[in-house]
Amino acid sequence: MNLEVITADALEGIEHGFFTRKGGASSGVYAGLNCGHGSTDQSDIVTINRSRVARAMDVAPENLCGVHQVHSADVLRVTGPQTGEAVRADALVTDQAGLALVILTADCQPVLFADKTAHVIGAAHAGWRGAVDGILDRTLDEMEALGAKRENITAIIGPSISQSAYEVGPEFLDRFMDEDPENVQFFANGQEDRYMFNLPAFGLHKLRSAGVGHAEWTGHCTYADADRFFSYRRSVHKKEADYGRLLSTIRL
């Protein structure tokens, strides 16, 4: 099946991966490893794609634990395999072995966390709204509640939209300036009244300000590399009907 997965040296010893779109069973605009049941792709094909990820992570498909992502700052503590309807939240944490925490993205930041000493992991979906509203801090809070220490936590931001592809309007800048005038550093001038927003740099700033021991971005832009990544914004620009979802996961 030739799945492609991006890993981070800083998380060595913890099973994890930012899966690209390569190696999946989907076709058309979803061609490759579309893992989003929220897309209009065929449900059974998405299930096949997710089962391939489960096999690669050496877990049963029901041990892929996700949430119904809603751009919130809510975090779910996972204690066992999930059944029934997914909880509305945007991050998960656990101290249980054999459970793979799953985040789906298509431009937003997938963030994987681990305290190797305390054996506590987390995964978060951090678009601009979630990052502003505190999803990364809340994930760290919930990891601490399970025994992790912030100074021992490694956080890796996976493939996300980069600044060169993220054009926003003046009202977007105003939202960030209202939170903190120092946020101007994450914006560059674009055409006319537009700005270019650096989402990964903002995510790193939030993580480092929160006191994590180590934070980095893998450096992959979802918009720029159509062969490897799905991108919501690219699909809009190409006037496509829908887009695939990338899966990022971590397990003890």
pLDDT at 72: 96
Q: Write the CATH number of the domain with boundaries 5-162+198-251.
A: 3.60.140.10
Q: Where are the domains of the chain?
A: 5-162+198-251
Q: Is the pLDDT of residue 111 over 80?
A: yes
Q: Is the pLDDT of residue 83 over 90?
A: no
pLDDT in tens, 235-245: 999 999 999 99
Q: With bands split at pLDDT 50, 70 and 90, how would you rate the model's confidence at 15? A: very high
Q: With bands split at pLDDT 50, 70 and 90, how would you rate the model's confidence at 1? A: low
Q: What is the mean pLDDT of the chain?
A: 96
Q: Who's near 174: CB < 8 A, 6+ residues apart?
A: none
The helix/strand/coil state of 96 is: coil
pLDDT at 22: 97
Q: Who's near 199: CB < 8 A, 6+ residues apart?
A: 108, 109, 127, 128, 131, 160, 161, 162, 163, 166, 186
Q: What is the mean pLDDT of residues 228-252?
A: 97
Q: With bands split at pLDDT 50, 70 and 90, how would you rate the model's confidence at 18? A: very high
* Percent with pLDDT over 90 in the chain: 96
pLDDT in tens, 134-155: 999 999 999 999 999 999 999 9
Amino acid code (one letter) for 66? G
Cβ atoms < 10 Å from Cβ of 198: 18
Q: What is the mean pLDDT of residues 26-37?
A: 96
pLDDT in tens, 183-210: 999 999 999 999 999 999 999 999 999 9
The helix/strand/coil state of 81 is: coil
